[in-house]
Structures are given as structure tokens and as C-alpha cells.
């Protein structure tokens, strides 16, 4: 963790601030439904950077029918023959929706390129085509935000060790993660080339320091909220009429009974 940041944010301070941001995120969700706007957020970064935790922080209090998470596995045999962006296009948001990409088409510029899962020609074509593809999305009216979560190698190593030691987190470790540990510098060079080629006026990148994940999540969510137009719309008032009778107890007439 950098000296500039000082000590890590406490859980209490984090939850206090997150609660305030969750209210604003719900305001945002209502505005999207009211306006019909479409919001797409790409979360990219090294292994262990904190993409999954950020998805949870954003979506935890939102309607899952409105806010979707996309975390695609590697392409199958058929998908591997498609136009590269094709399998991502079907997950784009419809009116009023939020789509959070836990990794996205930028896999090609990162893990695929560094680990040799695509050719150098394919990687360079991706860097050339992606600004054009994203210009089409923005021109269509989609609100597109791209975040790169930054983390130092020492912090990454500590998180790898934590995952290895915790049986509830061990599923997050893959053979690719283990192999990628020795390629920290290669990933950095690939990232820098990707940022240079795809940081555009219409779809800029925002880098967020995630050495302290709690602070990083709050910074990212605050940035997202601050860069969306006026999102406050009147909230529909809901009133419950009286039941007209005393509350009834739950009863079952068949052989099944609730446990507990």
C-alpha cells in the first residue's frame, strides 16, 4: 500500500460511506428506468485487483432484474470462430438497465495476448478496432464507463496467498493465475499499450488505486455517480391500505411443514 494512502480504511468507515453511496446508486437506477438510458461499466485489472468485490458493492442493493453482471468464460469452439466482439454484444444493456462487465472484450489485450491465447496479429487488430466498436456503442446512446483497477505486485502476492489459505476463496485461483504471477511486467507493458490505443475522448479510461480495496471501491462508485447527468427523479409514493382483519398465521394443510 502506498505511503500516500496511509493506513487502510476501516470496515466501519467503509460501510458508513458505502451506505450513503447505495442510496445514490438506487437514485441512479430509478433515473435509468425513468429516462430509458442504458449504462455499461467495464471493470478491468490484474488478477486479484478487486473486480468481483466492486461488482458486489455496486449491485448489492439494486434490483437484479435491472442490474446484471457479465463474467464470461473462455469462448467455446463455436464462439472462437465468431467475430471477436459478437458474444459480448448480446449482453449489452436494454433501456433502463445496468450491465457490469467483470472483465470484457479487453481480455484480448491482456490475458489472451500475454499468455499466448491469441496471435500478435489478432491483438493488434483488436487495438485498432476497439475504439471504432466503442464509438458505435456511445453513438447509440449507451453510457460507457471503463475502469482499470491498479494494484502493486507485493499487494497482489499477498492476495494470492490469502486465496490459497482460505478454502472459501480458493476457487478464485486458476492455473492461469498461477502462471501469470511471473508475468507481472509483461502484463504491465500490454496494459500500457492497450491504454494508449483505446483511451479516447468518447470512451476514456479511468485508473483507480485498488491497493486498498475498500477505498478503491468507494472512489470508483463516487466517480461513476459524479459523471452521470442529473439522476434525481421523484420516487413513487407507496402506501399500504389496512388489512381489514387481524394478521393471519401461516398454515399448511398437507404433510409438509416448515423447518426451523
CATH code for the domain in which residue 158 is found: 3.40.50.300
Average pLDDT along the chain: 94
User: Does 256 reside within a domain?
Assistant: no
User: Does 96 reside within a domain?
Assistant: yes
| Three cell numbers written together for 190 | 500490454
User: Does 232 reside within a domain?
Assistant: no
Residue 236: the pLDDT is 81
Q: What is the pLDDT of residues 25-66, one digit of tens each?
A: 999 999 999 999 999 999 999 999 999 999 999 999 999 999
Three-state DSSP state, 249:
coil
* Choice among 2-11, 58-67, 118-127 with the minimum mean pLDDT: 2-11
Cα–Cα distances (Å) from 12 to 8, 59, 66, in that order, read 12, 20, 29
Residue 229: the pLDDT is 79
Residue 230: the pLDDT is 75
User: Does 35 reside within a domain?
Assistant: yes
Type and span of the H or E element at 10:
none
- In which band, very low, low, confident or very high, does the pLDDT at 90 lie, cut at 50, 70 and 90? very high
User: Does 146 reside within a domain?
Assistant: yes
Structural domain for 97, as ranges: 13-226
Reading phi first (left if > 0) and then psi (alpha if -120 to 50, else beta), residue 238 is in beta
Dihedrals phi, psi of 46, to nearest 5 degrees: -65, 165
User: Does 31 reside within a domain?
Assistant: yes
Type and span of the H or E element at 137:
helix 120-139
Q: How many domains does the chain have?
A: 1
Three-state DSSP state, 258:
coil
Residue 213: the pLDDT is 97
pLDDT above 80: residue 247? yes
Q: What is the pLDDT of residues 162-204, one digit of tens each?
A: 999 999 999 988 888 888 888 999 999 999 999 999 999 999 9
Q: In sequence order, what are the residues at sequence separation of 6 or more whose Cβ sits closer than 8 angstroms to the Cβ of residue 158?
A: none
* Choice among 55-69, 94-108, 150-164, 165-179 with the minimum mean pLDDT: 165-179
User: Does 250 reside within a domain?
Assistant: no
Q: If you average pLDDT over residues 57-77, what whole number do you get?
A: 97
User: Does 131 reside within a domain?
Assistant: yes
Instruction: Tell how far CA 54 is from the center of its chain.
Output: 6
- List the beta strands (DSSP E) in 95-137: 98-102
Residue 6: the pLDDT is 66
Amino acid at each position: 500500500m502506498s505511503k500516500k494512502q496511509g493506513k487502510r480504511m476501516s470496515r466501519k468507515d467503509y460501510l458508513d460511506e458505502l451506505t450513503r453511496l447505495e442510496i445514490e446508486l438506487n437514485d441512479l437506477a430509478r433515473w435509468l428506468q425513468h429516462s430509458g438510458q442504458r449504462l455499461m461499466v467495464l471493470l478491468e485489472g490484474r488478477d486479484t485487483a478487486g473486480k468481483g468485490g466492486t461488482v458486489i458493492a455496486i449491485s448489492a442493493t439494486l434490483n437484479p432484474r435491472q442490474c446484471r453482471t457479465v463474467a464470461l468464460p473462455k469462448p467455446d469452439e463455436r464462439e472462437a470462430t465468431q467475430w471477436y466482439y459478437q458474444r459480448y454484444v448480446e449482453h449489452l444493456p436494454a433501456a433502463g438497465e445496468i450491465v457490469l462487465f467483470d472483465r470484457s472484450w479487453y481480455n484480448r489485450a491482456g490475458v489472451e495476448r500475454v499468455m499466448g491465447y491469441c496471435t500478435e496479429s489478432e491483438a493488434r487488430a483488436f487495438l485498432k478496432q476497439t475504439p471504432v466498436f466503442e464509438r458505435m456503442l456511445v453513438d447509440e446512446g449507451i453510457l460507457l464507463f471503463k475502469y482499470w483497477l491498479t494494484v502493486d505486485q507485493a499487494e497482489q502476492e499477498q492476495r494470492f496467498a490469502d486465496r490459497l489459505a482460505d478454502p472459501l476463496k480458493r476457487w478464485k485461483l486458476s492455473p492461469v493465475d498461477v502462471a501469470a504471477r511471473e508475468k507481472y511486467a509483461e502484463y504491465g507493458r500490454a496494459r500500457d499499450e492497450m491504454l494508449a490505443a483505446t483511451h479516447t475522448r468518447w470512451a476514456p479510461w479511468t485508473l483507480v488505486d485498488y491497493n486498498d480495496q475498500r477505498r478503491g471501491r468507494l472512489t470508483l462508485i463516487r466517480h461513476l455517480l459524479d459523471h452521470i447527468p442529473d439522476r434525481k427523479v421523484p420516487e413513487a409514493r407507496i402506501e399500504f391500505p389496512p388489512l381489514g382483519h387481524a394478521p393471519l398465521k401461516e398454515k399448511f394443510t398437507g404433510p409438509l411443514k416448515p423447518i426451523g
